[in-house]
Chain A
Amino acid sequence: MSILIDKNKCVGCGRCSLVCPGSLIKLDENKRAYIKYPKDCWGCTSCIKECKAYAINFFLGADIGGMGGRVHTEENGDILKWVIDSPESGISVINIDRKESNKY
Chain B
Amino acid sequence: MNINTQKLQTDILIIGGGTAGCYAALTIYENSPELNVLICEKAHIKRSGCLAAGVNALNAYIVEGRKPQDYVDYARKDADEIVRGDLLLTMSEKLNSVTEKLEKLGLVILKTENGKYVARGNRNLKINGENIKPILADAVGKLPNTKVINRINITDLALKNNKVIGAYGIGIENNIFYVIEAKAVLVATGGAAGLYKPNNPGFSRHKMWYPPFNTGAGFAMGIKAGAEMTTFEMRFIALRCKDTIAPTGTLAQGVGAKQVNSLGEVYEQKYGLTTSERVYGTVSENLAGRGPCYLKTEGITAEQDDSLIKAYLNMAPSQTLKWIESGKMPSQQNVEIEGTEPYIVGGHTASGYWVDTRRRTTVRGLYAAGDVSGGCPQKYVTGALAEGEIAASAIIDDIKNIDLENVDEHEETAYKTEAENFLTEKNTPFTAEQLEEAMQTVMDSYAGGIKTSYRFNEKQLEIADEKIKKLFILSEELYAKDLQELMYIYELRERLIVCRSVIAHLKARKETRWHSFAENLDYPKKSDDFKKYINSKFENGEIKIIYRDLIKEGEDFEHFNR
The answer to whether A and B interact is yes
**Which residues of A have CB within 8 Å of B255?**
104
Contact status B208-A99, CB under 8 Å: no
Contact status A89-B243, CB under 8 Å: no
Determine which of A46, A92, A96, A100 lies in contact with B52 in the assembled complex, contact meaning CB atoms within 8 Å: A46
Contact status A42-B324, CB under 8 Å: no
Per-position 1/0 for B479-498, Cβ under 8 A of A: 00000100100000000000
**Which residues of A have CB within 8 Å of B44?**
18-21
Determine which of B128, B484, B487 lies in contact with A101 in the assembled complex, contact meaning CB atoms within 8 Å: B128
B138-178 residues with Cβ-Cβ distance < 8 A to A are 151, 172-173
**Which residues of A have CB within 8 Å of B56?**
102, 104
Give min CB distance, A15 to chain B, whole Å: 10
Q: How many pairs of residues, A versus B, come closer than 8 Å at their CB atoms?
A: 177
Contact status A63-B200, CB under 8 Å: yes
Contact status B317-A58, CB under 8 Å: yes
A53 at the B interface (CB under 8 A): no
Contact status B324-A86, CB under 8 Å: yes
Contact status B307-A89, CB under 8 Å: no
Interface residues of B, count at CB 8 A: 60
Contact status B327-A102, CB under 8 Å: no
Contact status A104-B130, CB under 8 Å: no
A60 at the B interface (CB under 8 A): yes
Contact status B318-A1, CB under 8 Å: yes
Query: A19–B250 Cα gap in the complex (Å)?
Result: 27
B7 at the A interface (CB under 8 A): no
Determine which of B42, B208, B243 lies in contact with A65 in the assembled complex, contact meaning CB atoms within 8 Å: B243
Contact status A42-B206, CB under 8 Å: yes
Give min CB distance, B52 to chain A, whole Å: 4
Shortest Cβ-Cβ A-B pairs, 7 listed:
A104-B254, A69-B325, A101-B110, A46-B47, A64-B243, A44-B52, A44-B53
Additional A-B contact list (13), CB under 8 Å, known A39-B203, A102-B57, A102-B127: A1-B206, A1-B318, A36-B484, A42-B212, A44-B211, A60-B321, A61-B203, A82-B313, A86-B321, A88-B326, A89-B325, A94-B310, A98-B128
Write 11 A-B pairs (CB below 8 A) sorted by A numbering. A21-B44, A21-B48, A44-B53, A60-B243, A61-B204, A64-B200, A64-B207, A101-B108, A101-B118, A101-B126, A104-B56
